[in-house]
Structure 1
Amino acid sequence: MTLTEILKVRNVRCYLMFRCSYFARFYYPIFTLLYLDYGLTLSQFAMLNVVWAATIVIAEVPSGAFADTLGRKKLVVLSSIIMFVEIAMIAVVPTGNTSLVFMVFLVNRVLSGLAMALASGADEALAYDTLKEQGQEDMWPRVLQIQLRIASSVGIFVTLLGAAMYDVNFMAGIYSMLGLAEPESTKELKRIPVFATLFVAMIAIYAAVNMQEEKKPVTHDGNRSASTIASLKLTLNAGKWVLSTPYVLFILLYYSLFEHTSRMFLTMNSQYYRAIDIPIIYFGFIGAGVSILQILLAGQSRRLAESIPPKAFIFGMGLATIASYYWISLGWSIYGVIPVLLLIFIIMTMNIFISYHLNKKTESHNRATVLSFKGLMFNLGYGTIGILYAYYYKLVSGNYSDLEREQDLAFLATLSSFFYYFTFLFIVISAYFYVKNRNQAIF
């Protein structure tokens, strides 16, 4: 299939539009700083992300099972609506009462986690099965490559504009042109990227509504409770299948390790950039540079994921990730951006590898459920590292004065924890893999 033919497939087209708009959030370049400007602490930020992950853990697999039994499109549409609501909450919350702000952000994280869980696996399953019905499932890595390139193109615009929206000097010129009082700090700008994201959320709703799904005959005489029981049974069966299939189990274990560790760090990348003395206005240029690299290297990522044997691929990516975290822990000014770019390339390539191999081993009838297990294992890891990091930061920051914490010295002192955490777990999982593989070849 050519690119034009791929884009003519409605569910694939809507999948691309949904994924690219769902994650196109103007506040991502300054994510951590946004939370801090709303009056939250870095420890609270980490714990709120634990709540986000815990919500997904609770809702992830059941939502995937409901997608397989009740309808995938319904869950994708509901996810997009909840996404709109959770963003709207922080767009309008008053900031005078810090307790109220924390509670609103707490609800925001719960809704955001629920939205992610509802969409996870369901949108991908709709698109993949549409290709499979046409006998074109081998084109899935190509779809992922296209999705990566489109998302990266959108990301260039979003990150540049999002960072600019948060730069006092840039926005002072805009305010002056409009005859408004110039902002004095980023706290006066914090709602602008949030409202911009609300507009993009409406595109995600449009894409979700326009997905198509064949109506399935209602089982169990249309009894809703019977459908719920069928969903739970599917969840248990899929879980047993994952645990009894070493190939899939280790794919998911490695995926979770790479993804949740990098996600924890990358959610704080704005804090990291500020700590290594990079001005806020350049956050957008860094993000745009990342998107350009993803566009240019998407094909290379796909070829690496498809051509390198799994054991060699995972080992190589593991060593490169360990080196990246060590470099990050040094806290080098300016040059500290390079390992972040390397880490992003590793995760981009790893995601294509995981999706390609996992879909090959999964049957259509429980695809959304198994893909939800992928999200479940990631969020179990993300919640764990969030708790550990919040505790570790609180412990370390106690050794620094308020001024030193404001200068991000405490934050820089915690960066080595990512190197030790990833290295330890990579060795443990690899040792477990080695023992299992000796008894019976896994890959």
Structure 2
Amino acid sequence: MTFREILQIPNVRYYLMFRSSYFARFYYPIFTLLFLDYGLTLSQFAMLNVVWAATIVLAEVPSGAFADTLGRKKLVVLSSVIMFIEIGLIAVVPTGNPDLVFIVFLVNRILSGLAMALASGADEALAYDTLKEHGKEEAWPLVLQIQLRIASSIGIVVTLVGAAMYDVDFMTHIYHFIGLSKPETTQDIMRIPVFATLLVAMVAIYAAINMQEDSKALTRHDNKLATSVASLKLTLKTGQWVLSTPYVLFILLYYSLFEHTSRMFLTMNSQYYRAIDIPIIYFGLIGAGVSVLKILLAGQSRKLAESVEPKTFLVIAGLATVATYYWISLGWPIYGVVPVLLLIFIIMTMNIFISYHLNRKTESHNRATVLSFKGLMFNLGYGSIGVLYAYYYKLVSQNYTEVQIEQHLDFLASLSSFCYYFAFLFILISVLFCIKNRQETIF
């Protein structure tokens, strides 16, 4: 299929619009710094993300099952509305009371996790099944490639503008041009990227509303209780199928390891950039560079994911990731951004690999539920690493003076934990894979 032919399919078109706008958040380039400027500590930031992950764990699979029974479109629309609300909360919260700020951010993380869980699997299932109805399911990796390129193109603008919105010197010129008093610190301008994200959230709502679902494909029940029971049964049945299907189980285990470890680090990338002496104004340039990298290498990622034998692919990706985390832990000033770019390429390729192989092994009637298990396993890992990192960072920081902490030496010292954590779990999963593969060929 060509790009034009793909865009002519409404559900696929609105899927691309939804995904691209849902994650186009102007505060992402300075995500950690934003939380800290609101008055939160780094440990609180890590724990709030654990709450975010825990919420998704609790809501992920049930939401996927409801998507397969109640309707996928309903969950995608609800997700986009909740996303708008959770962003709106931090846009208006006053910062004078630290306890109130923490409570509002706690609610924000819960709503954000719920929104993510509701959308997870449902939007992808709508788009994939539409392709399947047209007999074009083999074009799914191409759709993922296109989605990656569109999101990356939008990401160039979002990251450049978002980082500029958080740079005091740049915003001083903007304030002067429109006749306002110049900002003194980042706390004076920290809400601007948040309000800008609210506008983009409206695009996600529009895309979600315009997605279509074949109501005939949904299982009909007499009442809401019957629907809930059916959803629970589908969840349990799908869980049993995942656990009894080694191919799918190990695909999900490897996915969770690669994704939750990288997500934990990349969530803190603004703190990392500051620690390796990169000025805030350049955060946007780095983000734009990442987006350009994704655009240029999306085709190579798809070809690797489709053509390389799974076992070979996983071994190469695992070893490369261990080396990358070690490189990051060195904390090289300025040049420390290079391994971050390498990590992003590895994860980008891994995501295409996982989606390609997982969808091939999944039937349409429970696709959203299986994809929700994918999210569940990721967030179980993300919550675990969040707790472990928060505790480890607290222990590490006790060995440093206030001056050294201001220089971010404690943060840099904590980064070696990512290398050890990933290497240990990768070896563990691989050993289990080898044992099982001897009994029954998995790949």
Please indicate the TM-score interval, normalised by the length of the shorter structure: over 0.9
Deviations, residues 350-376 of structure 1 (Å, cap 9, x unaligned)? 000000000000000000000000000
Distance 1:64 1:221 in 2: 17
Identify the residue that residue 29 of structure 2 maps to in structure 1.
29
Partner of 1:69: 69
- Which residue of 2 is the match for residue 49 of structure 1? 49
Match of 2:11 in 1: 11
Partner Cα separation in structure 2 for residue 115 and residue 218 of structure 1? 22
Instruction: Give the corresponding residue for 2:151.
Output: 151
Aligned 1:256-271 pairs, distance under 5 A: 256-271=256-271
Kept after mapping to 2: 8 A contact 1:22/1:204? yes
Matching residue of 2:172: 172
Residues 1:232 and 2:241 are matched in the alignment: no
Q: Which amino acid aligns with 1:59?
A: A
1:392 corresponds in structure 2 to 392
Partner residue, 1:187? 187
Alpha-carbon separation, structure 2, partners of 1:413 and 1:188: 31
1:298-377 pair list within 5 angstroms? 298-377=298-377
Structure 1: state its 5+ residue gaps.
Answer: none
Which residue identity is paired with 1:281? Answer: I
2:213 counterpart letter in structure 1: E
How many angstroms does 1:216 deviate by?
3.3
1:183-262 correspondence to structure 2 within 5 Å = 183-216=183-216, 221-262=221-262
1:244-286 deviation digits (Å, cap 9, x = unpaired): 0000000000000000000000000000000000000000000
Q: Deviations over 1:24-64 (max 9, x none)?
A: 00000000000000000000000000000000000000000
Distance 1:368 1:218 in 2: 12
Matched with 1:403 is 403
Report the Cα offset of residue 404 of structure 1: 1.8
Distance in 2 of aligned mates of 1:119 and 1:266: 21
The aligned counterpart of 2:413 is 413
Q: Superposition pairs for residues 79-94 of structure 1, below 5 Å?
A: 79-94=79-94
**1:75 aligned partner, one-letter code:** L
The separation in 1 between residues aligned to 2:267 and 2:388, in whole angstroms, is 15
Shift of 1:220: 6.2
Q: Do 1:220 and 1:226's aligned partners in 2 also have CA atoms closer than 8 Å?
A: no
Identity across matched positions, percent: 79
| TM-score where L is the length of structure 1 | 0.99
Contact 2:221 2:227 in 1 (8 A): no
SS of equivalent to 1:399: coil
Q: 1:215 to 1:331 in 2, by over 3 A?
A: same
CA separation of 1:440 and 1:36: change in aligned 2, threshold 3 A: same
Equivalent-residue separation in structure 1 for 2:334 and 2:217 (angstroms): 58
CA RMSD of aligned residues (A): 0.8
CA distance in structure 2 between the partners assigned to 1:221 and 1:74 by the alignment? 17
Name the counterpart of 2:118: 118
Q: TM-score, normalised by structure 2?
A: 0.99
Question: Which deviates more from structure 2 when the two are superposed, residues 145-154 or residues 220-229?
Answer: 220-229
Instruction: Give 1:275's aligned residue.
Output: 275
Residue 94 of structure 1 aligns to a residue in which SS? coil
Name the amino acid aligned to 1:344.
Answer: I
Q: Distance in 2 between matches of 1:219 and 1:425?
A: 39
SS at match of 2:216: coil
- 1:73·1:122 contact (CA, 8 Å) conserved in 2? yes
Mapped to 2, the partners of 1:88 and 1:365 lie a distance apart of 35
How has the CA–CA distance of structure 1 residues 218 and 347 changed in structure 2, closer, same or farther, with 3 Å as cutoff?
closer
**Residue type matched to 2:270 in 1?**
S
Asked if structure 1 preserves the Cα contact closer than 8 Å seen for 2:163 and 2:281, the reply is: yes
What SS does the aligned partner of 1:95 have? Answer: coil
The answer to whether the 8 A contact 2:302-2:349 is kept is yes
How far did 1:180 drift? 1.2
The question of whether the paired residues in 2 share the 8 Å contact of 1:83 and 1:201 is answered with yes
* Structure-2 change in CA distance of 1:407 and 1:230 (3 Å): same
Is the contact made by 1:83 and 1:112 (CA closer than 8 Å) also made in structure 2? yes
Provide closer, same or farther for how the CA distance between residues 183 and 221 of structure 1 changes in structure 2, counting only shifts above 3 A. Answer: closer
In structure 2, what residue type is equivalent to 1:72? R
Residue 104 of structure 2 corresponds to residue 104 of structure 1: yes
Query: Corresponding residue for 1:129?
Result: 129
Residue 380 of structure 2 corresponds to 380
Where do 4+ consecutive residues of structure 1 move more than 6 Å? none
The alpha-carbon deviation at position 403 of structure 1 amounts to: 2.3
CA deviation after TM superposition for structure 1 residue 398, in Å: 1.2
Q: For residues 204-228 of structure 1, give each alpha carbon's deviation from its aligned partner in whole angstroms, at most 9, with x where no partner exists.
A: 0000000000113775652110110
Counterpart-to-counterpart distance in 2, 1:221 and 1:40: 47
Amino acid aligned to 2:259: E
Shift of 1:409: 1.0
- Residues of 1 paired with 2:217 and 2:320: CA distance? 49
CA distance in 1, matches of 2:17, 2:129: 17
1:134, CA displacement in angstroms?
0.6
Amino acid at match of 2:91: A
With 215-224 and 159-168 compared, the bigger mean Cα shift is at 215-224
**Structure 2 counterpart of 1:320, one-letter code:** A
1:402: how far off? 2.1
User: In the alignment, is the contact (CA less than 8 A) between 1:50 and 1:384 conserved in 2?
Assistant: yes
1-side partners of 2:378 and 2:19: how far apart?
A: 18
Amino acid aligned to 1:181: S
Q: 1:218 to 1:355 in 2, by over 3 A?
A: closer
